[in-house]
A and B are shown apart, each in its own frame.
Chain A
């Protein structure tokens, strides 16, 4: 068998550029926000791919492209080997059912006027006409799946605590029996004492249902705990990706090294990594030429500001976009 048969979801050279319009005359484009600028990665069936990077680097935009909430400027998305941008209307509906999402903010993502039953069944009824009874059955089933009581179906979101609302969001994502769930900062808004509950739940349903996750989180310990593979994004591009354990143990890109050293372990005896990155993330409107990281990089040489490094293989499943071999 081909080794690629294990890949369920693949992004190929994805780009999303948002126009910046100036003045009152429509159509005058003053520039482009290169939110996602040539991103390629693949997610294996039943595994979790973690995406990390600082605010504004394009993580959510990448997720929205895969969810078809934004149209890519260029590039392609393959699902089970098929290019979804070339799919027929009906196949596209099937794809939408197969890929669901849970976002950070359980307040924003659940309509406060809708009952739990309607919230959860939404992704189900959008794509197909089902008898009411079957819909309610399914809703009760997924509520049980996430450990909520089936009798919650007639309640409203505000009748749940902030934490529990995220359980409803997970139940909703499960309703249409998806294959992939995109988790965009699923635990960041939750209280510390219930984060572990949700992470355990997500892992348990992944095992039980064979789900594939794309996990976006800024908490590196969360990504480390959940992911098999991971990618590090910087100003619209992936600078490093591969096996998650390997990257944590041997980060090669200076940005990854800086990012990992900035993470604060909840352990007073951990050796303090003092490779603090200086400066700030550049704007995606005018990303620096060459390697986008070069203005903040302590290893930068002349070539770094001239030539953009391409991803190259440094280990079996480990790719780095840097001109130098700085592997740890």
Chain B
């Protein structure tokens, strides 16, 4: 308690948006829009997403299935292909817009400066090559080391992600490892080039809880060592509470609320965030009934005008149905898009 009072007196812990914060900003996503032009119509998968990512920091991207989390990440990496297209916005890495880079330049940036860990480790590992081969390849491409030095680096990186006796496991094929180990190997490949930004897209959904706990601890440790900034995609608020410094809540292609992690849990301002947090069953105590959000998440095809959450919102009024709410800056660290907050 005392500690908190102190820090309040000393001003916000969050760096002020002065020059010092721009210095620390690694990635600046600004009004990003990625649409899919399908036969059924235009799917506005990402529709005006903005957030900042600072060095050493983890931002959580949370939201339900289909709300645009993965497409946001793939857009940052320049991995959108037809029928999808980035139709607006910019993605600044150290102030330079990635959306203006050529495919060759992007290939260079991917895997060297920004890397990604996917949900299913089997899809990111090639089943016919040994894991030593695959991690070495990731290192070799981006760091130009070869021979004995490359072998040592590979062993070192696998050791970093706690593969036991890595020199012995270099010859293993992916199917010979457990899911937890495979995911650590993928992590090793992603970290091998010491990227500035690591994007982890639900990296633990295929893992058991005890293995997940080990993996999350490991990611945190490695982040502390390498000072990598992280975008952590999840729909699990337990993971958010453990891993993230800030959180952006997505709904139907847009960020509806973003705040410091604790602020979001203690003072959720968007009716969607608040209802979502209330609907979770608790580990302590006994509840008879859970609070629910009625209805289903919307289809991104032909979203109605107005707030996309309006059809499910308990606080909806006429205005909500007509016009999309503006993004309201509630405090330096808390933004929300809701007419109730205007």
Contacts and interface: CB of A to CB of B under 8 A. Distances in A.
Interface of A: 54-55, 161-164, 191-197, 199-200, 203, 218, 220-222, 224-225, 245, 248, 258-259, 261-270, 272, 276-278, 280-281
Nearest to A245: B286
Contacts of A195: 279
B302 interface: no
B209 A265 contact: no
Nearest to A164: B296
Contacts of A191: 64-65, 235, 296-297
Given A196-B291, A280-B211, A267 B241 contact: yes
Interface string B229-245: 00000011111111000
Contacts of A278: 214
B7 interface: no
Interface in B285-323: 286-294, 296-297, 312
A245 B296 CA distance: 32
B213 interface: yes
Contacts of B178: 280
Contact of A199 (B213, B239, B242, B290): B290
Contacts of B240: 266
Contacts of B277: 266
Contacts of A193: 64, 275-276, 279, 293, 297, 312
Q: Which one of B240, B241, B286, B294 has the highest number of Cβ atoms from chain A below 10 Å of its Cβ?
A: B241
Secondary structure of the A contact surface, majority rule:
helix
A280 B292 contact: no
Nearest to A265: B283
5 contacts: A193-B275, A224-B282, A266-B280, A269-B262, A277-B213
B225 to A, nearest CB: 19
Nearest to B296: A161
A196 B290 contact: yes
Given A196-B292, A218-B209, A262-B213, A225 B238 contact: no
Contacts of A262: 209-210, 212-213
A266 B290 CA distance: 15
Contact of B241 (A192, A259, A265): A265
A135 to B, nearest CB: 28
B282 A200 contact: no
Contact of B238 (A194, A203, A218, A263): A263
B291 A259 contact: no
Contacts of A277: 210, 213-214
A163 B239 contact: no
Contacts of A280: 178, 180-181, 211
A235 B239 CA distance: 26
Contacts of A199: 281, 290
Contact of B283 (A194, A197, A221): A221
Contacts of B280: 192, 196, 221, 266
Contact of B265 (A55, A196, A267, A272): A267
A197 B280 CA distance: 11
Contacts of B212: 262
B208 interface: yes
A200 B292 contact: yes
B180 to A, nearest CB: 6
A242 B335 CA distance: 46
A221 B208 contact: no
Contacts of B237: 192, 266
A264 B292 contact: no
B217 interface: yes
Contact of B239 (A164, A221, A258, A264): A264
Contacts of A192: 64, 235, 237, 276, 279-280
B261 interface: yes
A281 B208 contact: yes
B274 to A, nearest CB: 12
A162 B64 CA distance: 12
Q: Which one of B239, B262, B280, B291 has the highest number of Cβ atoms from chain A below 10 Å of its Cβ?
A: B280
B275 to A, nearest CB: 7
Interface string B64-104: 11000000000000000000000000000000000000000
A162 B289 CA distance: 23
A276 B280 CA distance: 24
Contacts of A263: 209, 238, 283
A265 B240 CA distance: 10
B238 A264 contact: yes
A248 B280 CA distance: 17
Nearest 5 Cβ contacts at the A-B interface: A264-B238, A266-B237, A225-B281, A196-B279, A196-B290
A172 B215 CA distance: 39
Contact of A221 (B265, B281, B286, B291): B281
A268 B261 contact: yes
A54 B238 CA distance: 18
A264 B265 contact: no
Given A248-B283, A268-B241, A196 B209 contact: no
A9 to B, nearest CB: 24
